[in-house]
Every structure is written in C-alpha cells, then in structure tokens.
Structure 1
C-alpha cells in the first residue's frame, strides 16, 4: 500500500498512507476513534477503492478476514458449523480443525446466538482461518472479550502466525496487550503519525496526547517518530513545516 488516500462523501478519510505487511510479521494498526482504521482495512481488502495511491497484493494472495463484529438475527436457526461456511465452502473436517485451533471445537453444533462474546471472537477467527490465509486481517479481535481473556486471544494470534507463517494486520485499541506481541506498530490518524518496532520505545508528546502515559497500562510501548506536523489535543493536524519525516513500515507488501 503506497500513498493511499480516501475521500468519501466529500470528506477526507485517509491521506498519503504507506503500509506493508511481510510474511510472518504482525503489524498492529492503532489510532483514535475516527482515525480511518476500518476504512483502511476495507481498502486493503478491496471492499472500497482508494481515491489515490496504490494497493499492491502478491499474486494468488489468500486473505482471511475477521470483522470487528457480526450481528446474527436472534430468530435465525444457524449453528456455529453452518455459520463458518456462509459465503464459502469448507468440509466438516476443516471446520472442526479450525475450531480446534481456536479452542472452541465444542461449539460446532451450538446455535450461534448461544455463544458468549469471547467465544464468538474465536469462532470469527476460526472462520478467517478456513482458507489457510497468507495474510490474516483482524479488526479488533478482542472486541467483547473480558480483560482476563484478552491476553489469551493475542497469544492465540501469535501462535497462529507461527503455525501458518502468515502475515497479520491487527487493528486494536488494546495497546498494552497488542504492542507486546507486535513486530511493527503503525499509528494512524487519517495519515501515518508514527511507525516503528516495539523495542524502539519512547515517550513522544504527540503520541501521549492520543493515548496517555505508558505507565497507565502495563506493557504499553511508545514508538519514536518524527514527522512534519503537530496534533492538537483532539488529534487534529496542526500545520508545522520542517519537523522531519515519517519513518515507514518495512516488510514485503501484500
């Protein structure tokens, strides 16, 4: 993804975004509400077209996508096993295999409406694994999971990355958990504010204005960066020329 921009309904959503995810790499995308994270994911998936820039995907790339949430009508008679195959086909053996991988094999014959929020996130992850993806795109995978289960979800994602050797693009607000497992972090606020590796920890004031002090959350890592603008307390861009340049996420682009 190179210099991607997006305008919807006359409103600028994304501007000049560079993003790459390499094989076996976990890239975490963070940013405040309204930063354009979900729209960026949709551009990457080809669900909406970029207004500017390029999205390059490797030939034959298989993508597994886990949406932020799925609403299932309470009166719809559908089991977890049937839900896995909506929009595609998979053998029962493969369905059972991915549910085992995500730790919810016992839910195979259960109504979707009967599973808990944490169980549903694992079902959605299992569905994303059905195609044995080269790239796994996860939008808020810990949504609806209690604090005790969040770390387990991110450990599961890291284990899946190791087994499949796939790249992972992970969108999350759970900074204190996600950053510990990430190979690279991209902070988005309509444009790339900062990017870096977890060990490149700093306490840049612009980052802190968005997310607070790292001592407020165990394991939170703050990433060193320089760029040619400042943000106000609401995260809006304030023009300020000559302040350096952004670092770029490294790695093969899908």
Structure 2
C-alpha cells in the first residue's frame, strides 16, 4: 500500500479484513449464513443485493456492532477504519459549521480539516452550516470526516442514498480518487447497481449468503445476479463501464460538471 505524504497511512498486512463462515441471527431468523469475504489494501469491493439481503448487517458485524453466532472476523493489526453511514440525522436548529462537525468529538487542526474537505471534493464548504448543505455536500462532509481517520479501510453503507444518479456517479468516482491517493481499501454497499459496480474491482452479490463473486462483468453475467436484478442489468453495466473507462475528472468539462452537481 502506498504511503501518502503527510497522511500517516502506513502499510498493514493483507487482507485488511476477512470473514470466514460468518453467520448472524436476529432471534430465530438467520440473516447471514456462512459468509466468506476479504478486502485487500488498495482494492474496492462492493456488496450488492436486494432489500433484506443482509448487506447492512454484514457491515455492522465487520464494524463490531453485531456479534456473529458462528464463524470469525479477522482484522489486520492496528487497522484504522473510516466509516460513512447511510444517513446521519442532525438537529437542523443546531448551529454547527462543517469545520466544527469535523472537529467532533476531538478538535482537528484547521489545515487537516481543509485537506480532508479538499480530498472529499468540497474544499469550500468548511464555514457553511451543516443544516444548509445539499444532500451531496452533506455526504461529502461525512466522507471528509471518515478521511480524517486516515483509514486503511474505508467502509460505506449506502452512502449515496437520496442522491440522483449523476451525483452518485460523481461520489463514487471521488471514492476511486481517494483510493488512488491513499492506497486504502474500500468496502461499500449500494443500491446504485450499475454505477457503483462500474467503480469496483470486485463485486459480491449477497442474499443471506454469497450468491456470486468476481469482477463486475463476471457478476453481471452470473445467473444468480440476473435472477435477482433482472435480465437488463448486464447491458446497463456495460454502458456504465464504457462511460467510466473514458471519463475522468481531470480530462474535461463534463467531469467537472458532474463534480459540481454532486457538491450542490
């Protein structure tokens, strides 16, 4: 894993996190059954699946919030995790700037806060009120806070919920840039199937168990995936892969416009 100058990000063993035979129950209901997965440094792994498939439960188990009834979770020593939740509800009447939000629960030097916001793609919102942010800006602020942890592993749980498709695509391209800049591993779940899969190195299709796993193209062609999400998903993914392969933020004005849309 590369070390980003001034970031404190250091090499950790591979894999960053892995599960073996992970099984989780809520009462008498088995939500996850025999889940094997791993995330290595520098790779983006996406978990997709229908509602109720156990995606958020899997993330909660990896974060230590849900105990498994069977199996194990192994984390690399001194692993630092940055987490971007699906949503965070703040009292809209509470006066709080973005810079102040980034400094909770402990103060953060202004220079570090600015660097995190710049890396998250919203360098100019530090003095704005959290309550005044758009949906895309709010999620970027959450991303900046996660980046402040200098994570070896960045975990995102439906982080683009409520964003439109261009905003979601721009957010995931920003995640790719963060990965490239820091060398961190990324584990994320999303309902934006084609957009998020196009940004992934590896995809895990979950429905209580691992239905299929592999590159986006392999998973999109898998019978289990197509049964869950429909026959048209493979062609839609191909379209997004084509767009992604030829579009980067530094290449032209269209990408800049997407970035601006996400930050509005």
Scaled by the length of structure 1, what TM-score is found? 0.82
Corresponding residue for residue 13 of structure 1: 31
Equivalent of 1:219, from 238, 250, 253? Answer: 238
CA offset at residue 202 of structure 1?
A: 5.6
Corresponding residue for residue 200 of structure 2: 182
Equivalent of 1:120, from 111, 128, 138? Answer: 138
> How far apart, in 1, do the equivalents of 2:103 and 2:33 lie?
36
Alignment of 1:111 with 2:129, yes or no, is yes
> How far apart, in 2, do the equivalents of 1:188 and 1:57 lie?
21
1:64-118: CA deviation from partner (whole Å, max 9, x where unpaired): 0000000111121211111122234422211111001112122111111100001
Alignment of 1:68 with 2:79, yes or no, is no
> How far apart, in 1, do the equivalents of 2:107 and 2:21 lie?
36
> How far apart, in 2, do the equivalents of 1:207 and 1:218 lie?
12
Structure 2 unaligned residues grouped into runs of 5+: 1-18, 241-264
Q: Which has the higher helix share?
A: 2
Alpha-carbon distance change, 220 to 206 in structure 1, aligned in 2, over 3 angstroms: farther
Corresponding residue for residue 66 of structure 2: 48
1:180–1:220 CA contact under 8 A, matched in 2: no
Alignment of 1:58 with 2:76, yes or no, is yes
Using the TM superposition, name which of 140-149 and 36-45 deviates more: 140-149
CA offset at residue 176 of structure 1?
A: 1.0
Alignment of 1:99 with 2:145, yes or no, is no
Secondary structure at 1:168's aligned position in 2?
strand
> How far apart, in 1, do the equivalents of 2:179 and 2:147 lie?
11
CA offset at residue 126 of structure 1?
A: 0.7
CA offset at residue 174 of structure 1?
A: 1.0
Secondary structure at 1:74's aligned position in 2?
coil
Equivalent of 1:164, from 182, 202, 221? Answer: 182
Alpha-carbon distance change, 16 to 215 in structure 1, aligned in 2, over 3 angstroms: closer
CA offset at residue 219 of structure 1?
A: 3.1
Corresponding residue for residue 251 of structure 2: none
Corresponding residue for residue 224 of structure 1: none
> How far apart, in 1, do the equivalents of 2:224 and 2:239 lie?
15
Secondary structure at 2:105's aligned position in 1?
coil
Using the TM superposition, name which of 176-185 and 193-202 deviates more: 193-202
Secondary structure at 1:152's aligned position in 2?
helix
Aligned length in residues: 221
Alpha-carbon distance change, 77 to 157 in structure 1, aligned in 2, over 3 angstroms: same
Secondary structure at 1:19's aligned position in 2?
strand
1:20-67: CA deviation from partner (whole Å, max 9, x where unpaired): 000001000000001111111011011222111110000000000000
Structure 1 unaligned residues grouped into runs of 5+: 222-254
Scaled by the length of structure 2, what TM-score is found? 0.79
CA offset at residue 201 of structure 1?
A: 5.5
> How far apart, in 1, do the equivalents of 2:127 and 2:102 lie?
11
> How far apart, in 1, do the equivalents of 2:107 and 2:97 lie?
15
